[in-house]
Amino acid sequence: MNISLKNKKALVGGSSAGIGKAIVQQLAESGASVTLMSHSEEKLQQIVNELPTDQGQQHQYLAIDFNNFKDYQKVISRYFENNSIDILINNTQGPSAGSALEIKVHDYQEAFDLLFKTVVFTTELALKSMMQKNWGRIINVASVSVKEPLSYLALSNSIRAAVVTWAKSLATDVGKHNITVNSVLTGYFDTDRITQLNAKKAEQLGIEASQVRKEMESKVAMQRIGKPEEYGYLAAFLASDNAAYITGTNIPIDGGLLKSL
């Protein structure tokens, strides 16, 4: 099966590292022109310079702060004044870790702005041209915690659940325009985010971070942590014509971590 995204334009959030970067690389290798989004302009510029252009792609980036919703609105609105896209990857950094007893009300509002409002606002802007073209792909980077909540990620559990239910509703509304909307439920992947979470958990438990990782791996059927490039393969498939009949779904990519059906 050949995945070709030639002449397609993609916008990818959180793309200076980890899963976002892996998605960017796979979309570009499949022929798409990609606009990267993150707060680290230096990293974005470096990645753009390294992406393939052999299929006529033109890559660019937006230095943007997902944590400041008002500024985010301004920057992303200006972008869409002069750009249209075919593929939208809704992805941001995760909110702070913490249990339901540790998290305060204002933390939920900040997480809502970060994980939900940025996604909905960007999608609204992207849909205008997608509906005109009668083609589009919206892919939300979510988490397995929406099915099996993780006690130390109360913010992510709560707000990402709102994202996937919103996405299901949206999929019903835009399907007639040949636009698909899917959410990917992310398991454990070898990223800076996992390293940070493991370090915090190790400190709380008074053990080594390596032990936390081993215990994490033992919970996965494949007995290992996922590679970011494996995530990129799934995203490229969902962005292609090969996935034209897949919409409104929540697709786990977790190596068998989820125990529920």
Kindly tell me if the per-residue pLDDT of 127 is higher than 90: yes
Q: To the nearest 10°, report the CA torsion of 147, 196, 228, 236.
A: 60
CB 85 within 8 A of CB 132: no
Residue 195 vs residue 143, higher pLDDT: 143
Question: What is the H or E stretch that residue 136 is in?
Answer: strand 136-143
84-124: per-residue pLDDT in tens? Answer: 999 999 999 888 888 999 999 999 999 999 999 999 999 99
Give the pLDDT confidence of 8-64 residue by residue, as tens digits: 999 999 999 999 999 999 999 999 999 999 999 999 999 999 999 999 999 999 999
| Residue 204 pLDDT grade (very low, low, confident, very high; cuts 50, 70, 90) | confident
Give dist(CA 4, CA 10) in Å, integer. Answer: 13
Query: What is the pLDDT at residue 261?
Result: 85
List of domains in the chain: 9-187+227-253 (3.40.50.720)
Find the helix packing angle between 154-174 and 118-133, rounded to 10°: 20
